[in-house]
Amino acid sequence: MCGITGYIGTDETGKIVHQGLQNLEYRGYDSAGIALNGTNLTVHKTEGEVGDLPVPAGDDVVCGIGHTRWSTHGEPTEENAHPHTDCTGEVAVVHNGIVENYDDLKAELHGDHVFRSDTDTEVIPHLVEDHLAEDVSLLTAVQRATSRLEGSFAVAVTAAGHDGIIVARQDSPLLLGHGDGETFIGSDATAFIEHTDRVTYLENGDIAHVTKQGVDIFNDGERVERTTETLDWDADAAGKSGYDHYMLKEIHEQPRALRQAISGRIDDLATNVDLTLDLPDEYLQSVEEVQIVACGTSYHAGLFAKELLEAKADVRVTVHVASEYDFRGGRDPWRTLVVAITQSGETADTLSALREASQAGTRTLALTNTLGSTVTREADDTVFIRAGPEIGVAATKTFVSQVATAALFSVYLGRVRNEMTTETATDLLESLRDLPGAVQQVLDREAKIRETAREYADSDAFFYVGRRAGYPVALESALKLKEISYDHAEGFAAGELKHGPLALVTDDTPVIALLTSETARKKTLNNVKEVKSRGAPVIGVASDPDATTHVDATFDVPDCGAMEPVVANVALQLFAYHVADEKGRPIDKPRNLAKSVTVE
């Protein structure tokens, strides 16, 4: 949830670590801090955003570590900001994760140590302090300290009088970047992508000693080698490129993201798909149920995938909020495929569900955006959504890329199982091929959407309704609006309005209706009439003008077959963005949220 970074090399350490924190701020922005190690150890912290922290400097600085925080233990204050230090002030630690047994460790340490914060992290520097008193190296002290921790952690430790930085990983992401005579540390590559694209992903149990001479990695006391990979994106892809916000930039990147998602995967005749999966055809033919596990926006993509898989590939699908998942109900693990959808590949609840499924004996497949992430190492197989880096906390292009990739998988599975005709496959694949152009047409109509957003920005609440493939889009669109505008917004299956939610409808609660293809729009129009009769203004999203005769405003979208609800989603992303912008919200840094949720 938090972001950590570090640097050792010949450049300006304070400046590089500070820039790394700015790059990682989408992971948390409650407080920030940096520790520099040189002639002595200095710590610089602030409550608030990274921009509130001056770029630190020090004498003969050799290395530095930094942290931007999303609070889990203790309020967002300067005292609770990382780095945390020991009693001597000579050991500094930054940490992403949760130390589940910190109460016990704190009670054990309390008599001999002074604690200054309310965080779980502060036990770590005190443990390191105790072990350094045994006259061992910093590497050994960190190995012994982390062996006492229960829970998840990615930590970086530096100490006065000791060479370099020690980093350790357990169930929280951590990677190293390799430059020319310099090494970077980050929760993800965004921390240092402007400096290098060569990275090493640390694995669970790894502890690395990072010095000017290089990196030594250990696991279970033994030296190990980890591969170095080259990332397929650059610093420009992670910048704003002139847009006011990352979110708006990423909304406008969706045509390219979609082209990347489908590129080289559809055959010339649009009858089949190549996903280079290792899962055997015989196994896929035997599958009786696909279980999808995901959180947030990825969960909504999973609901859309369910519509496609059941309607087009004729396979039973259940979709589970990952934090609530158990493998139960008498299912046969040998005939169940579990699909984990996670943008970052590090979502703690999704990884936990994946492990639950694996332990039960099922085979697993990951849909993710992130090369080298934990989910790619733990799932039996992986399909990448190829969206490129997404910095905005509110997911946009990764949602459409997840849905597009799920559509490809639907064709792949349906054809392997002989449950999808050539005609059905061609219709769906042609719809996918048309999707980037259709999305671009919606982006070209942004001015009208902005005008409508400004008209309704001061409404009391917003209700989104849809059926079939429109229902997950209603949920996702409501989530986008509430995330960045802080307005009350809810998505409903349109037929459920009359079973309770209709009581909330007033003349100041706009209802946004998904009236595209694949959404049973004729039935949804009946629900539109219900809310209109109670005075609610209605915004309709449709390609057919006949579907919008009873609405007050219309977002026109191009005809795009089975993928048309995805096109509608893009229009509603723009609507959410402009409502939030009209209110002056911090769109890229919505309160209380972070991009990658790496704690349970």
Residue 309 CB coordination number (10 Å): 24
| Cβ burial 346-384 (10 Å sphere, 16+ → b, else e) | bbbbbbbbbebbbeeebbbbbbbbbbbbbbbebbbbbbb
Q: Is the peptide bond before 558 cis (omega within 30 degrees of 0)?
A: no
Of the candidates 2, 63, 295, 560, the residue annotated as catalytic is: 2
Residue 451 makes CB contacts below 8 A (sequence gap 6+) with none
What is d(CA 305, CA 405) in angstroms, rounded to the nearest whole number?
9
What is d(CA 128, CA 362) in angstroms, rounded to the nearest whole number?
40
CB 516 within 8 A of CB 466: no
Backbone angles phi, psi at 321, to 5 degrees: -60, 120
Structure tokens at 77: 């204050």
Helix ranges, 417-459 (H): 422-443, 446-456
What is d(CA 580, CA 251) in angstroms, rounded to the nearest whole number?
14
Element (H, E) at 336: strand 336-342
**SS3 call for 546:** helix
Of the candidates 249, 397, 482, 595, the residue annotated as catalytic is: 595
What is d(CA 310, CA 600) in angstroms, rounded to the nearest whole number?
30
- Is 595 a known active-site residue? yes
Angle at 29 between CA 27 and CA 31, to 5 degrees: 125
CB 369 within 8 A of CB 398: yes
Backbone angles phi, psi at 457, to 5 degrees: -60, -30
Residue 533 CB coordination number (10 Å): 9
Say what angle helices 254-262 and 397-416 make with each other, to 10 degrees.
Answer: 20
Integer angstrom CA distances of residue 75 from 59, 115, 120, 390, 586:
32, 15, 12, 28, 20
- Is 2 a known active-site residue? yes
User: In what order do the strands lie in the sheet containing 31-37?
Assistant: 41-47, 31-37, 63-69, 3-8, 183-186, 175-178, 198-201, 229-230
List own/partner pairs for 281-284 with CB under 8 A and 24 or more apart. Answer: 281/416, 283/363, 284/337, 284/413, 284/416, 284/417
State the virtual CA torsion across 374, 377, 381, 383 in degrees, nearest 10: 40
CB 250 within 8 A of CB 401: no
Q: What is the residue whose two structure tokens read 């769109």?
A: 587
**SS3 call for 556:** strand
3-state SS record for 43-95: EEEEECCHHHCCCCCCCCCCEEEEEEECCCCCCCCCCCCCCEECCCCCEEEEE
What is d(CA 215, CA 163) in angstroms, rounded to the nearest whole number?
12
Q: Which residues belong to the active site?
A: 2, 595
